[in-house]
Structure 1
C-alpha cells in the first residue's frame, strides 16, 4: 500500500519495510524541496547531494555560482546512483545531519 505524501511525484513500484519511507513508512514530509545532483552514495541509506544556484551581487553587477550540500535519507524502495538528479523533501531530523528524504529520481 502506497501512501499519498501530498506531492505530485511518481510513487516507487517496489514495496519496502523502511520506517523512514514517506510512501510505506510513517515519515511525513513538509517544508522545502531540494532538486540536486547526487555526489556520493557511500554511506548506508544516505546520499550527499549538491544544489547549484546563481547569486546576484549588486555591487559588481554579476552573477556568481553558489553550491549547497545536504544529506538525505534513501528509502529501500528507491534506487539512487552517483550522478542522478533527485528530488528531496524536508522531513523531521532522522539523524544529526539528515533532515531530508529522497522522494523521486528524475531521468
Structure 2
C-alpha cells in the first residue's frame, strides 16, 4: 500500500517515514509546487468545509463532527447529483463505469 502526500513539512519527517515503514506502507511524495496530483482531494476538502464544517460552527464536541462527517460522506457518495457526471450519484456513476469496462469472465460448463 502507498501513502501519497504533497511535500508539506509534516509529510517529509523521519518520524512519519519510520511510522509508515513500521506499518508496511511505502511513502510517495509529489513534486514541490505541483498541486495537480492533489487537486481532487483539495476539491473534496473544499466542498466538505464549505457545505458542512463552516455553516454549522461552532462545533461543541468532536463526536458531533465525526457523526456529521459520516453523514456528509454518505450523502456525497449516494445522493449528491453532480452535473459533471450526468446528475447521478457518484456511486452509481462508478458502478456504471465498471459495468462498461469490465469484460465478462469466460466460464466452462464442463
Classify the TM-score, shorter chain: under 0.3
Pick the structure with more helix per residue: 2
Tell which has more relative contact order, 1 or 2 (C-alpha 8 A, sep 6+).
1
Higher CA-based Rg = 2
State TM-score, norm by structure 1: 0.21
State TM-score, norm by structure 2: 0.20
